[in-house]
Structure 1
Amino acid sequence: MNAPHKTEFLTDSYGRTIKSLRMSVTDRCNLNCIYCHNEGSTGTTGEMSVETISNIVHVAADFGVNRLKISGGEPLLRKDLEDILVSLPPLKDVSMTTNGVLLQERALSLKNAGLDRVNISLDSLNEGSYRHITKCKDGVFRKVIGGIHAAVDVGLTPVKLNMVLLKDVNESEVEAMLSFVRGFQGEVILQLIQLMDFRDVACYHADVDEIEKELELKAGCVQVRELHHRKKYLIDGAEVEFVRPVDNTEFCANCNRLRVTSDGKLRPCLLVNDGLVDVSHASVKEMPDLFRLAISRRIPYYRKQKEI
């Protein structure tokens, strides 16, 4: 079992070097969104301890990984999330994806524990539509709005609002969401996200091509992010990114992220259920070779589909 050398990186056979971990710390959630894919999870399978999470991230950092995105389920259901953050090695960026329901009360403690920024799911500004999408109770929507304001106030910025585009549900709300984002004067960015095919959700697939064309017409400036060559539109003071993970060869070709499931398995690709490598009971000495094994199994999803 060999520890990584200072110059060793996790580079797969397609030349993609891992610089980021996306780690699910729980598959529990306090919402039940109509399109949710549970980070590819197949059900409740247990959760890693703070020590295991810390060990995984430390080993990844030894390989040059410098970014971590914490996800779920809903990560704020873990009461020890601040302990997880404190246990991490120094990284360039530590972010979290959350539905924001519990964020208002913990934004400051998360910031103080080392969290840099948050992505918050907000698919609608219409409370009725929000309840339909998330199947939540009355009052939850207002908690999420409060969480957004709290995140901005404590400096968990830029806050990115994740809006999954849903046909006949929220596709007409893009302009309203842009107006909402403008109110935060650059501290909040809108991410419009193409719906992924993890459930029987064909009826919700919006015409993303048409929506993006409208953004292009309105934009005063269009930029292209290096990762995934994702387009970013600046529209009258609002910043919006368009995320197309479906049938996107550039998304796969430029993927620099390795996923970790909530029960401690390295997942080479979110869209593929095989090839997982279990590190949940591995020692720190054993983990480097398990990381190398996971990287050896990384095949771009679009390439794998062509080979089927």
Structure 2
Amino acid sequence: MLEDGFGREVSGVRVSLTDRCNFDCVYCHNEGLGDVRGPMEPTDDELTADEVVRFLEVASEFDVEAVKFTGGEPLLRADLEEIVRRTPESMAVSLTTNGTMLPDRAADLAGAGVERVNVSQDAIDPDAFAEVTNSGAYDRVIDGVEAALEAGLAPVKLNMVVFEATAGYVPEMVEHVAANDGLQLQLIEYMPEIAGHPEWAIDIERVHDWLAETAHRIEHREMHGRRRYFLREGATADNVTAGAEAVAADGGGAAVAAGASDDGAGLGEGMVEIVDPVENEEFCANCHRVRLTHDGKLKGCLNRHDDLRPMGDTKAEIRATFRETVANRVPYYGEYMVEADDGWVVNDAYLD
């Protein structure tokens, strides 16, 4: 397993299969939707199935243990099941999707080798969902989550980006997950370094504080130094309004100790995890992933666009590029952009 200059082993890869998406989420850093007529063969600027598999075979040579397929929307690729089937057996396979095409494909994807899915769902209210995603596909997403569960892809993680427009819906999403077996919630800190609009960001510590007050059990996950909050069904049902105010407005209570309460044994339980990389050295210090873009470039960090390296056509070229990418990984992406008097600018010192 390759190790970068900061002692981090690269144990996973994220492979973007397309930058096309049938949603137009307001927080997304993508420009334009591209061709979204439905599942189709790769476009001219997208890696073919053979090219993706060739890269994964090289990654497996370096003892990479897992691959997550992403996009855009990866299910816009008609050959996704083929790619999954051809992924080296030594690698665990997962994918991130908006869920709209899972009703028709979840069973086939599970049969091909997908082990779990993350589904983007920023609210459980159809109107709020439509406002954030610029999509009327709410019911289709809900059906997609059900299809994934029926296909045995539990637990299904719901991805919710937390920013000004969605923060008030966090308590409802937490209660939704606690009340439904097989679901987990991943709250993702809004990243202005990627998507712009730094004024949309909220203080993610308010969300941590509210969850700590509400959870009956807290665990610390070694990967990325994340905290996991376990909440029993009904923990927020009678206090959704107050919870929304605590998360979305200034303030929020102090955190409580892990395992502070064990009342309510026997009720349903939901797990909530916060992905909070912005200015989080611990998060980046525990990053073990390299990324492959849809057009065949390797990068060592999600937030950087100055280190893109064409992976090459042959396995020998891919091996060399993989090694170079790992060797040039940077420590902390939270410092990639800084706020100056005239707005957010690239931090030249960070690039140096």
Asked whether the two chains share a fold, i.e. TM above 0.5, the reply is yes
Greater Cα offset, 23-32 or 295-304:
295-304
Deviation of the 1:171 alpha carbon:
1.4
Q: 1:226 aligns with which of 222, 226, 231?
A: 222
Deviation of the 1:255 alpha carbon:
0.8
User: Cα deviations across residues 43-76 of structure 1 (Å, max 9, x unaligned)?
Assistant: x981101011001011101101010010000000
Greater Cα offset, 260-269 or 172-181:
172-181
Q: Indicate the residue corresponding to 2:138 in structure 1.
A: 141
Q: 2:25 aligns with which of 26, 30, 33?
A: 33
Q: Indicate the residue corresponding to 2:190 in structure 1.
A: 195
Q: Indicate the residue corresponding to 1:173 in structure 2.
A: 169
Normalised by the size of structure 1, how large is the TM-score?
0.90
Q: SS where residue 95 of structure 2 aligns?
A: strand
Q: Indicate the residue corresponding to 2:155 in structure 1.
A: 158
**Structure 2 counterparts to residues 208-223 of structure 1, below 5 A:** 208-223=204-219
Greater Cα offset, 203-212 or 59-68:
203-212
Contact 1:45/1:262 (8 A) holds in 2: no
Question: Residues 45, 17 of structure 1: CA spacing in aligned structure 2 closer, same or farther, 3 A cutoff?
Answer: farther
User: Cα deviations across residues 11-59 of structure 1 (Å, max 9, x unaligned)?
Assistant: 11111110000010000000000001249xxxx9811010110010111
Contact 1:95/1:117 (8 A) holds in 2: yes
In the alignment, structure 1 segments of 5+ residues that lack a partner are 1-8
Q: Indicate the residue corresponding to 1:5 in structure 2.
A: none
Q: SS where residue 84 of structure 1 aligns?
A: helix
Distance 1:56 1:110 in 2: 20
Contact 2:214/2:231 (8 A) holds in 1: yes
Distance 2:330 2:110 in 1: 36
Distance 1:216 1:89 in 2: 40
Q: Indicate the residue corresponding to 1:290 in structure 2.
A: 321
Give every structure 1 segment of 4 or more consecutive aligned residues whose post-TM-superposition deviation is greater than 4 Å.
302-308
Q: Indicate the residue corresponding to 2:273 in structure 1.
A: 241
In the alignment, structure 2 segments of 5+ residues that lack a partner are 32-42, 233-268, 337-346
Contact 1:27/1:73 (8 A) holds in 2: yes
Contact 2:64/2:91 (8 A) holds in 1: no
Question: Residues 72, 239 of structure 1: CA spacing in aligned structure 2 closer, same or farther, 3 A cutoff?
Answer: same
Q: SS where residue 10 of structure 1 aligns?
A: coil
Distance 1:174 1:259 in 2: 29
Contact 2:17/2:74 (8 A) holds in 1: yes
Deviation of the 1:154 alpha carbon:
0.7
Question: Residues 114, 17 of structure 1: CA spacing in aligned structure 2 closer, same or farther, 3 A cutoff?
Answer: same
Q: Are 2:237 and 1:206 equivalent residues in the alignment? A: no
**Structure 2 counterparts to residues 1-308 of structure 1, below 5 A:** 9-38=1-30, 46-137=45-136, 140-167=137-164, 169-185=165-181, 187-197=182-192, 198-236=194-232, 237-279=269-311, 281-300=312-331, 301-302=333-334, 307=350
Contact 2:290/2:299 (8 A) holds in 1: yes
Distance 2:127 2:94 in 1: 29
Normalised by the size of structure 2, how large is the TM-score?
0.79
Aligned residue type for 2:306: D
Q: How many residues align?
A: 294
Deviation of the 1:183 alpha carbon:
3.1
Deviation of the 1:205 alpha carbon:
1.4
Aligned residue type for 2:24: N
Aligned residue type for 2:288: N
Aligned residue type for 1:196: M
**Matched-pair identity in %:** 39
Larger radius of gyration between Structure 1 and Structure 2: 2
Distance 1:107 1:208 in 2: 33
Question: Residues 224, 146 of structure 1: CA spacing in aligned structure 2 closer, same or farther, 3 A cutoff?
Answer: same
Deviation of the 1:201 alpha carbon:
2.2
User: Cα deviations across residues 246-265 of structure 1 (Å, max 9, x unaligned)?
Assistant: 11101111110000000111
Aligned residue type for 2:161: V
Distance 2:283 2:78 in 1: 34
Deviation of the 1:229 alpha carbon:
0.6
Contact 1:125/1:177 (8 A) holds in 2: yes
Aligned residue type for 1:299: V
Distance 1:74 1:254 in 2: 26
Distance 2:324 2:199 in 1: 39
Distance 2:222 2:97 in 1: 25
Aligned residue type for 1:224: H
Question: Residues 103, 124 of structure 1: CA spacing in aligned structure 2 closer, same or farther, 3 A cutoff?
Answer: same
Q: SS where residue 89 of structure 1 aligns?
A: coil
Q: SS where residue 195 of structure 2 aligns?
A: coil
